[in-house]
Amino acid sequence: MKSYREELYFSTPHRRDYINITDKVESALQKSGIKEGLCLVNAMHITASVYINDDENGLLQDYDDWLENLAPHEPIGHYRHNNTGEDNGDAHLKRQIMGREVVVAVTNGKLDFGPWEQIFYGEFDGRRKKRVLVKIIGE
């Protein structure tokens, strides 16, 4: 069995951003040389997510509105976590509901997606350098 590991880096311009990283994961898969196996992609920070859904601008805005309704960034003092001196209590909750990781089957050297599936990095406390892990195993 072969395995391949790569870290992707992101420093988003906004506090919250939704970035299609499918091409970056496909590039890692090409480098791995793996034709049949599994590809794990996970955020390495507890205020960011990796998830799969459609790359459609209305949907991306819907996610952001929905998450802000569920866990508004402000007022900062609304979150006990922010008593630590941080201001990202909302970002921890947003990450929890959007998930930590995705696993995609690798078939014939390609990510074996369903219709419209794309891999996204969801950032909820950005404007600093953060990492995503890609781990691919198979043969």
Distance of closest approach, residue 81 Cβ to Zn ion, in angstroms: 6
Which stretches of the chain bind Zn ion, using CB under 5 A? 86, 88
C-beta closer to Zn ion: residue 27 or 82: 82
Question: Inter-axis angle of helices 57-70 and 89-98, to 10 degrees?
Answer: 130
Q: How far apart are CA 134 and CA 139, in angstroms?
A: 16
For the bound state, the minimum distance from the C-beta of residue 45 to Zn ion, rounded and expressed in Å, comes to: 10
* CB of 30 or CB of 84, closer to Zn ion: 84
Question: Cβ 8 to Zn ion, closest distance in Å?
Answer: 22
Which residue, 12 or 22, has its beta carbon nearer to Zn ion? 12
Distances in Å between the alpha carbon of 2 and those of 41, 46, 47, 120?
A: 17, 29, 31, 25
Choose between 55 and 87: whose C-beta lies nearer to Zn ion. 87
Q: What element of type H or E holds 110? A: strand 110-111
- Smallest distance from Zn ion to CB 130, Å: 13
Cross-strand bridge partners of residue 39: 104, 136
